[in-house]
Structure 1
Amino acid sequence: MMTTQIQTTALSVNGLTKTYRTGRALDDASFSLPQGAIAALVGANGSGKSTLLSLLAGLLAPDAGTVSVFGDDLGAGTHTHPRVAFLAQRRPLYADMTVRDNLRIVGALNDRWNDDRAREVLDKGRIRLDAKVRTLSEGQRALVGAALALSREPDLLLLDEPLAGLDPLAREDLLRILMADVADRGTTLLMSAHVLSDLEAICDHLVLLEDGCVRLCGGIDDLLADHQFLVGANDVTGPVPAEAVVDERRTDRQATLLVRGETDAAGWDVERPSLEALVIGYLRAGRERS
């Protein structure tokens, strides 16, 4: 007898909107992530990534829309769900205190806290508990931030540019620790980053923001299968309707179309995009629309 496995939704965002004095940062953003997803959050500078993560973490209140974490509605206030941990890009740490004091303070503020988990992460990074945070390198500070976030034993982990400013070895160390936690606990991860090569090897879902709107969301394999590059002569009319064309590049002799959906492309060469090519195509098209 066959059984059907029901997939739990870890995060559901519906109509999320946030406006500042300078303009609208998020505009009716909606998407969802299944439990256990490792999702890349991408977009151009100013697209709303940090605002979105701050709203999901409960640090900001939305002007409209809802956020649901494992079926629990966050409401309109500012509070962090007990199953969520957030590591901000600036890694807010107490720089003049020791690593041990940072653990003690943050642990006292959280009911859900595993001090052994924090020390395990720090041991892997060879970071001394008596070291003052201001004496640590960027990579070491990133590991301290990760230790604080993972010690909350989150079921949903939100990371805002966690790899920014890190050298290749530090990036590898941090990613290894994060992926080990995802594998061990089945943590759902949503991580923003600009370096797509850091994401392509580890992520299975994509959320792409453009001017505060969710332009693309889904499993990466499904999204790649649903897009294709069509390459043909510049003087030949494209084989698809204009609304199917995401991005279009033309030279004197050649036309290259990024197309969503299958099409009868007789006379055109068909290529499947990489994740980086797909994202760049959408970002370039968005820049030209703005």
Structure 2
Amino acid sequence: MTGPDAPATLHATGLGFRYRARGGWTLRDCEFTVPSGRITALVGRNGAGKSTLLHLAGGLLRPRWGEIRVLDAAPGTPEARARVALLTQDKPLYPRFTVADTLRMGEKLNSRWDQAAAERTVREGGMPLTARVGELSPGQRTRVALALALGRRPELLLLDEPMADLDPVARGEIMAALMAEAAERGTSIVLSSHVLPELEQTCDWVLLLRNGRVELSNDVDALRENHALLTGHAGQADTLAAQHTVVQRRTSGRQMTALVRQRGPLRGDWHVERPSLENILVGYLQDGDTVRSAAAERTEAVA
């Protein structure tokens, strides 16, 4: 079910998780909603909690605090398992199985199995069904794992760094397949990735984690529209911070460059550019002269 009345793809309230052996919180006080039918970029630096969040959504982990819902169901329940597919970084497959054996296993385990979709994903990678999984390249194994996920015909597809071991051509092909899946079947996709330029062309929602907290959960077009890259005299810094949310600023001599989230018209003598999605994401992720207040961060996290 898609459209304005469809349940949210993901919804979290006060979500927190920590691994007992590590001590500190991996995720803390996470509040966000991702609408249905979106291709969502899950972004964050290493250790920000991306994999943990996907494992919570996929039912492999349980929250230590708060709640997360997938398609208005509790992760890990029979209802959620039938509608959600998770592709983890380790992509567990049986190395002695052939590709055909692997797809046959998928068919046996899933009542909504789509053999044609699974085989198409495999064949587009140029590998025969008779090949053994253990003899495939890492990129080919990724395709087989993705074929298993797509063959289930999920309503929500969770992908944890699925293209880290693919070459640029293969990444483009996989991204095209995911976009087609979303367009043709209304599948919601949450994609964790460090390849920011590719996300710009495919994703229409951003969920950004920073230090275990959700810093952004926003529509991509809205992000581009309400952010600006400014260059001007450093003496305008205080006035700018009073009027807008300064995501990041850098000063060199008397000149300042700043990424801001606008709270109204821009005032002052500035050279203004509209940033790319990559500019915005890097600005939030970088360690620099950041002047956001804690209150502003909490407001943006649930905006």
> TM exceeds 0.5?
yes
2:83–2:155 contact (8 Å) kept in structure 1: yes
Question: Could you tell me how far apart the structure 1 residues matched to 2:108 and 2:114 are?
Answer: 11
- Letter of the 1:233 partner, please give it: H
Residue 230 of structure 1: how far off its partner (Å): 2.1
* TM-score under structure 1 length normalisation: 0.90
Runs of 4+, deviation exceeding 3 Å: 77-80, 235-238, 285-289
Q: 1:105 to 1:220 in 2, by over 3 A?
A: same
Partner of 1:150: 150
Partner of 2:141: 141
Partner of 1:255: 256
Residue 29 of structure 1: how far off its partner (Å): 1.3
Question: Could you tell me how far apart the structure 1 residues matched to 2:255 and 2:129 are?
Answer: 60
Partner of 2:299: none
Mapping of residues 15-164 of structure 1, within 5 Å:
15-20=14-19, 21-22=21-22, 23-74=24-75, 81-164=81-164
Question: Could you tell me how far apart the structure 2 residues matched to 1:140 and 1:192 are?
Answer: 19
Partner of 1:6: 4
Residue 175 of structure 1: how far off its partner (Å): 1.4
Residue 127 of structure 1: how far off its partner (Å): 2.0
User: Which secondary structure does the structure 2 equivalent of 1:178 belong to?
Assistant: helix
2:161–2:193 contact (8 Å) kept in structure 1: yes
Residue 278 of structure 1: how far off its partner (Å): 0.5
Mapping of residues 162-173 of structure 1, within 5 Å:
162-173=162-173
Question: Could you tell me how far apart the structure 2 residues matched to 1:79 and 1:37 are?
Answer: 21
1:121–1:143 contact (8 Å) kept in structure 2: yes
Mapping of residues 180-195 of structure 1, within 5 Å:
180-195=180-195
What does the per-residue CA deviation read over 1:241-261, in whole Å, with 9 as the maximum and x for residues that have no partner?
357211111111310121112
| Higher relative helix content | 2
- Letter of the 2:16 partner, please give it: T
Mapping of residues 255-274 of structure 1, within 5 Å:
255-261=256-262, 262-274=264-276
Residue 285 of structure 1: how far off its partner (Å): 4.1
Q: 1:98 to 1:287 in 2, by over 3 A?
A: farther
Question: Could you tell me how far apart the structure 1 residues matched to 2:118 and 2:289 are?
Answer: 42
What does the per-residue CA deviation read over 1:52-76, in whole Å, with 9 as the maximum and x for residues that have no partner?
001000111111222222222338x
What does the per-residue CA deviation read over 1:168-204, in whole Å, with 9 as the maximum and x for residues that have no partner?
1111221122222112111011001001011110111
Partner of 1:221: 221
Q: 1:248 to 1:149 in 2, by over 3 A?
A: same
- Equivalences, count: 284
2:247–2:290 contact (8 Å) kept in structure 1: no
2:42–2:192 contact (8 Å) kept in structure 1: yes
Partner of 1:230: 230
Question: Could you tell me how far apart the structure 1 residues matched to 2:136 and 2:79 are?
Answer: 30
* TM-score under structure 2 length normalisation: 0.87
Question: Could you tell me how far apart the structure 2 residues matched to 1:193 and 1:120 are?
Answer: 24
Residue 157 of structure 1: how far off its partner (Å): 0.5
Residue 38 of structure 1: how far off its partner (Å): 0.7
User: Which secondary structure does the structure 2 equivalent of 1:239 belong to?
Assistant: helix
Residue 78 of structure 1: how far off its partner (Å): 10
Q: Which moved further from structure 2: 207-216 or 242-251?
A: 242-251
Q: Which moved further from structure 2: 114-123 or 210-219?
A: 114-123
User: Which secondary structure does the structure 1 equivalent of 2:9 belong to?
Assistant: strand
Q: 1:62 to 1:78 in 2, by over 3 A?
A: farther
Structural RMSD (CA): 2.2
